[in-house]
Structure 1
């Protein structure tokens, strides 16, 4: 009897220890857990031209989080780009990551960082919602709905809208 009681006690201890380890492992927050995405929109261009995707990312975590890119079921290819202007010339370059500072934010916006969306598998029209899966440095992801806006849009629209004017925008809206 004593032997089976000891086995039972050891089993309970082992089960509690395992449960504690699993809970501790599951309690570790991923990079995506610290990010809130807002004002997500896509500037849709005519035909099969690439589209630009923009979003504000806010990080409530204690350390910076790196946005490494995104994926999509609608677009064959999604790349993280940065637009810049120097000497009257607009340039666009692919970048590996965009850091979202601890307790701060990063904006993907026209004329700056953006996601370049290539080769849609079906036409995307203004008013459509496209889900992009944002990918972070630790491998975690955040599915985010982006609203498609017309080629002349300058922001996400709605209550945050500003008039669409030409602020020296780059050709093709990127």
Structure 2
């Protein structure tokens, strides 16, 4: 049991550190999966029901992100900024999903991490909870860096450019 605890903590820390300097979304998501595996292993030892909840939320969130990235053919962080002009809603979905994976409150990914930290403290493991929370900050940092870099490197657009994601005007919308 102690070996699994050490491996879980090591997994969350290495997953957070490994994703810091990545430029490809596949590698970022791979390191994110390593970090989330640590969260899953640590709670599996204490509360298996919470592990299932955490795993289901993680699967739904990553599935949303994978499908959106696949649909937009995004492979690198730099290409997310190009996506803003083509499909702003899709870019916003990517940004919000990344923040949810990082565990930013009040998004969905925060709840399992918060419940896991509470469970660790209830089971008299405050040091482990602190290490897990700090490693989650590493992951949140590289997700926020992706969003920051993507939003700063967006190319300026001409206001006359027709966006494909806008609604077309019909007689009904003109009357409103």
Give the TM-score normalised by structure 2: 0.28
More helix, by proportion: 2
Q: Which has the larger radius of gyration?
A: 1
More strand, by proportion: 1
Give the TM-score normalised by structure 1: 0.28
